[in-house]
Amino acid sequence: MNNLKITFLLLFILTNLKSVAQNSNAEKILGCWIFKELQFSEQVDFAEELNKNAKNTVVCFTPDGNFTNTKSGVESNKINGTYKISEDGKTIIQKSDISSENEDESAEIHSIDDKLLVFKLEFGKMVFERK
């Protein structure tokens, strides 16, 4: 009987730990982040230009599932959209007002803490710093 109680207790603890981890990325991502750099996994000729053009772009995530993406000082370059964090807390799925009708964009949340947010994409990593 003690083994059964221990098994249920372990299942309960593991289930709750999983849900805490899932919520933590959804909570940690809230607020505004400043784009710092795109780290390509392979050599790309236009990497420097792309980083220069995107530098200091601000992305803000709100609790209601909306986000804005604004190039610093350029209101006309504002992009709006919606996002959600996957059930396992490891992926962000976005749809913006410039996306194709049925096309969602997703990225793996490589790491996130109070200061840095890193998305892993097919071609490299996007690094953001908390605003």
Instruction: Judge whether 104 and 119 are in contact, CB under 8 Å.
Output: no
Query: Would you kindly state where each structural domain of the chain is located, as residue ranges?
Result: 2-130
Tokens of 82: 């919606």
Fill in the DSSP letter of residue 47: H
Q: What is the pLDDT of residues 19-71, one digit of tens each?
A: 444 458 999 999 999 999 999 998 888 888 888 888 889 999 999 999 999 98
* CA 11 to mean position of chain CA atoms: 29
Task: Tell if the pTM clears 0.85, that is, is over it.
Answer: no
Residue with the bigger pLDDT between 68 and 4: it is 68
**Is 2-130 a CATH 3.40.50.720 domain?**
no
The answer to whether residue 74 scores a pLDDT higher than 80 is no
Residue whose entry in the numeric block shows the structure tokens 């098994």? 7
The answer to whether residue 8 scores a pLDDT higher than 80 is no
